[in-house]
Chains A and B, each alone.
Chain A
C-alpha cells in the first residue's frame, strides 16, 4: 500500500508528531523549527513588511513548479514588491486525507529549495488534515515578513508622469502552463511556469537605483490588472506599447486557441517596475544581469493625461484602453 496522509496525521497525536518531525522539521532544518515551540522568536529591527497568501492551485504539480514552490515564491515576491528583503515565512498545510505521502514530501522539498534560493527561512508552520472532499489534495497558507532598507519608499501610489514602466520578461507563462496541464492541452514545445523568487532581482534593482517608485507582481489578473491598479492608485495615466511586451509564441498560440488575451494571464515570476526616467536605463541594466530579468524591457511610460487608465498603442499604431480583468478568466491558477 502506498503511504498516504490519514486524518490521524492532523490529530495532534503521535502520527501528527511523526509527520511534523519527519516531513517538515527534518526537511526544512533550521534552529527556529527545531525548537518545536508554539511560535518562532525572532530578533528584528527596522521597518517591517508583513504579508499573507493562500495557495489552492490545481493541479498541485505543474510544468515548472508545484504548489510548494509557488507558495514560497508568491510570498517572497509580495514582500519584495514593497522593497523589503524577505526574511521569514510561515507555512500552513491543509491536506485532504489520502494525499500520497510521497507527493507531500516532494512538495516540502520544493519549498525547501525555493526558500534556500530566496534566502528565507521557514520558521513556523501548521498541519491540518480534512475529510476527503473538504479540500482538493492540498492547500497552503503562508505569511511572510521582511525588512525594508533605509531610504526605500515603494508604493503603488508613487507613479509620476514621465516615469518609465519596466517589465522583467515574458508574460502569461504561468497561467497557460497550469491550464495546459490541467486541461490536457499540449503544444509543440513544453511551456513552463515562470514561478520564481524575485528577492535578489529587486535587491539588485534597488542597488542600481533606490528611487524606484512602484513595484508590482502581475499575478492573478495579469499585467493589465497590475497596471490598472498602479494607474488608479497613483491617479496617473499609463501608456504601454504592444510591440514592446515580450510574449512567447506558444503563449500567443494558446491564447488564440482559447480566446484569452496574454495581458490578463497570471504570472508568478514577473514584476513591473515604475522608475524615474533618468534611472530607467540603470535599473534595466541591473535587471538584465539577473537570471530573472534577462528579457526585461521598457514597455511604456506614465502620463499626465487619462489619469487612472491604461492605454496601449497597438501594433497597428492605433490606441486602445486596457481595462482590468472582469470576472474569472482562469480559476485556481495560484
Chain B
C-alpha cells in the first residue's frame, strides 16, 4: 500500500465531500488544533469544498507560534554566552523574539546550528567537549520523548556539556484553557494526529465528556481530514459527543506507552507561558530533579531584558481561535513570509503563513 498517494485520490475525496454535504444540517465551527492540519486544509483547499454549515478555525497547534517572546529571548541570550552552541530545529531560526532572531545573531557570529534530530545535537556535544551545546526543546508531546532519550543518552555516555532549554508544551491543558475562557464556541475538535500517536486518544475524553464537544483524531492527508470532518458532522447531527480516531494507521487509544514512559522519567509538568494566553497551569514540561544538571536555565546565568510583542500583531488572538489572519492590519502588508512580524507568519505551520501562501479564492 502506498501511504501517501492512496490518501490523495480525488475519486475517494469526491465521495466524502458529497457525503458531508448531504449529512451536514447544523451550523458548526470546527477547530483544527494542529498546525500540520492547517497546512493540509489550505494546501488542498478543503475549506472551499465544505458546505456553508461548516466553519473552520485554526487552533494553537504550532509549537513555534505559541512560544512566548520571553522564552525566545532566553534562547537568544544563551546564544550570546561565549562557548555556547545552540542546536535547534530549523524552523526556529527565523522567529523574531523581542529584539532579534536566532538567524540574526547567527549572522553576527553566534554559533547556532540546525539539526534534524536531538541525536545530532548530542553528536555535536560529543565532538566538541570544550563547548556547551544547548538544545532548544521546543515542541509538543511529539518531540518531548526524543529529547528525553537524548538526556538519558547524555547521562549514560557521561556527556557533561549537553543541555536542554525545555520549552515544551502539552496540548490537552491548553485546549482546556481555551474552552474555559469561553471566547470561542466549538462544535467539534479535530484532534492532532502526531501528538495523539504519543498520548493516545484518552487524554481528549474530558473535552467530549465535560464540554460536550465531538472530538476526532485526524491524520494529515487530505482524505484524512475529510474523513475526520465527516465523522465530526455525524456526531453533531446525531447529538453525540465522543472521542473517535480517524487516523487508525497512526494512533492507538492508549498511545505509545514506551514514549510516554520515557517522557515521564525525564520530565514533569510545570506551568508554561503561551503566546496570547499567558501562563497555563501544568501545560509545560521541566526536567525532573534527577536530570537538572542538563537544564540550561539552571546551568547558565541568562541576562534578560523585558519581553515585548510587536505593535499591531494579533498572533495571540489568532492562536486562541478568536481572530483570523484576515482580521490583522499587518497581514500581507507589513507582515509577509519574507518580512514576518509575528511567529504565525514565520512558521511553516503557522495560520498566517498558510493563509498567505495558499489563501485567496481562485476557484473556477
Contact = CB atoms under 8 A, between A and B. Distances in A.
Interface of A: 183, 185, 243, 249, 252-253, 256, 259, 261, 306, 309, 311, 314-321, 323, 326-327
A318 B46 contact: yes
Given A316-B13, A320-B42, A320-B362, 16 more contacts: A243-B10, A249-B4, A249-B5, A252-B4, A253-B4, A261-B43, A306-B362, A314-B222, A316-B44, A316-B46, A318-B47, A318-B363, A319-B361, A319-B364, A320-B359, A321-B362
Contact of B45 (A256, A316, A327): A316
A252 B362 contact: no
Interface of B: 2-5, 8-10, 13-14, 17, 42-49, 94, 116, 220, 222, 226, 337-338, 348-349, 356-364
A318 B5 contact: no
Given A183-B116, A249-B4, A253-B4, A317 B337 contact: no
Contacts of B357: 321, 323, 326
Given A183-B116, A252-B4, A327-B338, A318 B348 contact: no
Contacts of A326: 337-338, 357
A309 B356 CA distance: 13
B362 A311 contact: yes
B222 A253 contact: no
Contacts of B2: 249
A-B complex: 10 closest residue pairs judged by Cβ atoms: A318-B45, A318-B48, A326-B337, A311-B362, A314-B44, A320-B358, A252-B4, A319-B362, A315-B10, A316-B13
23 contacts: A252-B4, A256-B4, A261-B43, A311-B362, A314-B222, A315-B10, A315-B13, A316-B13, A316-B17, A316-B226, A317-B10, A317-B14, A318-B45, A318-B49, A318-B363, A320-B42, A320-B45, A320-B360, A321-B358, A321-B362, A327-B94, A327-B337, A327-B338
A49 B359 CA distance: 39
Q: Which of A183, A309, A315, A323 has the most CB of B within 10 A?
A: A315
B5 A316 contact: no
Nearest to A258: B116
Contacts of A315: 8-10, 13, 44, 222
B362 A316 contact: no
Contacts of A320: 42-45, 358-360, 362
Nearest to A326: B337
A261 to B, nearest CB: 7
A324 B9 CA distance: 26
Contacts of B13: 315-317
A321 B48 CA distance: 13
Contacts of A256: 4, 220
A309 B361 CA distance: 12
A315 to B, nearest CB: 5
A77 B322 CA distance: 50
A253 B45 contact: no
A259 B364 CA distance: 28
B222 A319 contact: no
Contacts of A314: 43-45, 222
A316 B4 contact: no
Nearest to B357: A323
A304 to B, nearest CB: 12
Contact of B49 (A185, A317, A327): A317
Nearest to A253: B4
A222 to B, nearest CB: 14
Contacts of A321: 357-360, 362
B44 A318 contact: yes
B363 A319 contact: yes
Contacts of B5: 249, 252
A329 to B, nearest CB: 10
Nearest to B222: A316
A5 to B, nearest CB: 25
Contacts of B4: 249, 252-253, 256
Contacts of A252: 4-5
B119 to A, nearest CB: 10
B236 to A, nearest CB: 21
A331 B363 CA distance: 34
A313 to B, nearest CB: 9
